[in-house]
Amino acid sequence: MIAPSLLAADFARLADEANAVPGADWLHVDVMDAHFVPNLTLGLPVVESLMKYTDIPMDCHLMIDNPDRWAIGYAEAGSYNVTVHAEAAHDPVKLAKDLRAAGSKAGLSIKPKTPLEPWVEVLRHYDTLLVMSVEPGFGGQAFIPEVLDKVRTARRLVDTGHLTVLIEIDGGINDETIEAAAEAGVDCFVAGSAVFGSDDPVRAMESLRAQARACGRR
C-alpha cells in the first residue's frame, strides 16, 4: 500500500492534490501543532473540508500533544485511520478504544529513537503501527535505516500471531529506500516528496508500488 503525504503538496490546492493521486491506498495527512513537533500544519477543519472532495481513505498522523483529547475528532469526522504518538499519549489503550468506538482504525506511532518493546502490549489494542523513519516534523529528510530493526521485530510479532497491526513507515521513502523497507516487512509506505515532489505523482506512486511489490515479503 502507498499513502502519499499531503505535507509535500500545495496547501492552497489540497483537493486538487488529493485528486492528483487517484490510485492512492490512503491519503496521509500530517497534523502538527508546533508543540509536539517544531512545525505547524493543519487541523480538523481542513481535514473535514478535504473529505468532501476525495473518496481516498484518510490516514491522519497526529504529531500533537494531548492526543487523548484531540484525536477523537478526526475519527468522528470519518478518517479511516487515526495515528497518535506513543510519546504523547497519556492513556494509549483507552485512546485506541475511543478511536475504534468512533469508527476509525487506531494507529500508534513511534519516533526513530523510541524502542518498540515497551509498546508491544499496548499495540494489541491497535490496528496500525507507524514506524517513523525520520524525526517527525518535516518532509524531505533522509531515511534512517536503523529503524528497520523495529520493522523486522514487528513483522515477526505479526507473522507469529502475537500482534495484528498493519506496519506503516513514514519518512524518507523514495525509490532508493523503499526496497529495504519492503524487505523488512512494511505493509504501507508513506511518501511525501517522492510523490508530490514529482512532475508525475501517479507515475511516482506506481513506481514505488512496483518496487515494494517486487521486494516485499507479502
Catalytic residue among 65, 98, 170, 187: 170
Q: Per-residue DSSP letters for 12-30? A: GGHHHHHHT-TT-S-EEEE
Least CB distance from residue 63 to ligand DX5, whole Å? 6
Give residue 27's Cα distance to chain centre.
9
The item of ligand DX5, Zn ion, none sharing an interface with residue 158, based on CB under 5 to 8 Å by kind, is none
What lies within 8 Å, CB to CB, of 128 at 6+ separation is 81, 83, 105, 106, 107, 108, 165, 166, 167, 168, 188
Residues numbered 32 to 71 that lie near ligand DX5 (CB under 6 A) are: 61
What does each C-alpha distance from 213 to 187, 194, 196 come to in angstroms?
10, 17, 21
Task: Using the Cα atoms of residue 82, residue 162, residue 112 and residue 119 in order, give the sign of their dihedral.
Answer: positive
User: In this structure, what C-alpha cell is assigned to residue 210?
Assistant: 512496483
Query: Could you give the string, one character per residue 107-136, with x where binding to ligand DX5 holds by CB under 6 A and - elsewhere?
Result: ---------------------------x-x
How many CB atoms are located within 10 Å of the residue 118 CB? 10
Q: Per-residue DSSP letters for 69-123? A: HHHHHHHHTT-SEEEEETTT-SSHHHHHHHHHHTTSEEEEEE-TTS-SGGGHHHH
> Contact residues for Zn ion (CB under 5 A)?
30, 61, 170
Question: By CB under 6 A, is residue 30 in contact with ligand DX5?
Answer: yes
Residues numbered 169 to 198 that lie near ligand DX5 (CB under 6 A) are: 170-173, 190-194
Do residues 135 and 141 lie in contact, with contact meaning Cβ atoms separated by under 8 Å? yes
Of 87-95, 113-121, 151-159, 166-174, which segment contacts ligand DX5 by CB under 6 A? Answer: 166-174
Least CB distance from residue 157 to ligand DX5, whole Å? 23
170 is an active site residue: yes
The item of ligand DX5, Zn ion, none sharing an interface with residue 177, based on CB under 5 to 8 Å by kind, is none
30 is an active site residue: yes
Is the CB of 185 or the CB of 192 nearer to ligand DX5?
A: 192
Burial of 113 (0-12, 13-18, 19+ CB in 10 A): exposed
Number of residue whose CB is nearest ligand DX5: 192
Number of residue whose CB is nearest Zn ion: 61
Is the CB of 124 or the CB of 141 nearer to Zn ion?
A: 141
Binding residues for ligand DX5 (CB under 6 A):
5, 7-8, 28, 30, 61, 134, 136-137, 139-141, 170-173, 190-194
**Residues identified as active-site:** 30, 170
